[in-house]
Amino acid sequence: MKKKVSGAGGFFKRAYLGLVLLFLYAPILTLIVFSFNASKSRARWDGFTLDWYIQLFQDSDILSALYVTLAVAVLGAVLATILGTMGAIGIHSMGRFGKGLWMNVANLSMLTPDIVIGVSMMILFIFCKLELGFLTMLLAHVTFNIPYVIFSVLPKLRQMNAHAYEAALDLGASPGQALMKIVVPEIMPGIVSGAILAFTLSLDDFVISFFTTSEVQNLSIMIYSMAKRGINPTINALSTLMFVSVMVLLLVLNKRSSLIEKR
């Protein structure tokens, strides 16, 4: 009787998980399928074609927006990872009061609505007489990504042996050497996770990007402007390529992490 109950429970758990995954990925699968549709209509299938992928690489506006998006995402993720890792190490070394204070500050910036961050940064850039463009968008992305890196790195710092750094100093290493050869390798999984999170958040951000740039457009801003007159099917092709690229990247990183754990 217990086996029957557990078997039924397992079936419902798997069915529930399947429904959740279907709800999450059915729109993406639909987008991928219609990226090969010969018709511009999203309501009917008129045959298989690769024309939208060909047109994608011939559209200078989309390629320019893609370049801006990737440049901001990569540079923003690198800078946010460096600053966030330094911030996490600094917070970890503080006392209880300082650690609690700065963690609340980082938490507050993560919980603040994007529109508030975007408008406040726009006002700050205008006050500082910075022309809204690529640089201001990059600075905004670095700023809102730093807390996510901090909270990705902090758990690894807590798991690290608290005396390893001091032992390296006692053995003659300089603070910089102990940091790079002892601390950084120990917290590298958290750094990588924070970098990936910063990259993906920057890749699809719209609200903050919209308020912190003027002439320069990333993909989210461009797609928003296109939505007013109809989405071009080349966007389906571009979205498919981006989804597949991110998925392959995650699979490679997960495989690498599993190999490191086995070693």
| Residue 1 pLDDT class (50, 70, 90 cuts) | very low
Nearest to 138 by CA among 183, 71, 201: 71
- Predicted TM-score of the model (pTM): 0.82
Is 209 in contact with 220 (CB distance < 8 Å)?
A: yes
What number is the average pLDDT over the span 2-19? 71
Question: What is the DSSP code (8-state) at residue 163?
Answer: T
- Cα 218 to its chain centre, rounded Å, is 15
pLDDT of the residue at 7: 60
pLDDT of the residue at 141: 93
What number is the average pLDDT over the span 223-229? 77
What number is the average pLDDT over the span 83-101? 87
Does the pLDDT at position 154 exceed 50? yes
Domains and CATH numbers, the chain: 58-262 (1.10.3720.10)
Mind listing the pLDDT tens digit for each residue in 95-152?
A: 888 888 888 888 888 888 889 999 999 999 999 988 888 999 999 999 999 999 999 9
Amino acid occupying residue 212? T
pLDDT of the residue at 148: 93
> What residues have CB less than 8 Å from 102, skipping those under 6 apart?
87, 90, 91, 94
Does the pLDDT at position 260 exceed 70? no
Is 160 in contact with 186 (CB distance < 8 Å)?
A: yes
Is 42 in contact with 108 (CB distance < 8 Å)?
A: no
Does the pLDDT at position 23 exceed 70? yes
| Residue 77 pLDDT class (50, 70, 90 cuts) | very high
Is 178 in contact with 165 (CB distance < 8 Å)?
A: yes
Amino acid occupying residue 97? F
What number is the average pLDDT over the span 60-64? 87
pLDDT of the residue at 186: 86
Does the pLDDT at position 2 exceed 60? no
Is 160 in contact with 119 (CB distance < 8 Å)?
A: no
Mind listing the pLDDT tens digit for each residue in 227-257?
A: 777 777 888 888 888 888 888 877 887 777 7
- Three-state DSSP at 228 gives coil
Q: Which residues make beta-bridge pairs with 173? A: none
Q: H-type helices in 112-232, by residue range?
A: 114-127, 134-159, 164-170, 175-178, 184-203, 207-211, 219-227
Is 38 in contact with 50 (CB distance < 8 Å)?
A: no
Question: What is the DSSP code (8-state) at residue 131?
Answer: P
> What residues have CB less than 8 Å from 29, skipping those under 6 apart?
none
Mind listing the pLDDT tens digit for each residue in 169-193?
A: 888 878 888 888 888 888 888 898 8
pLDDT of the residue at 84: 93
- Three-state DSSP at 6 gives helix
Tokens of 91: 């917070």
Q: How many CB atoms lie within 10 A of CB 246?
A: 14
Is 233 in contact with 152 (CB distance < 8 Å)?
A: no
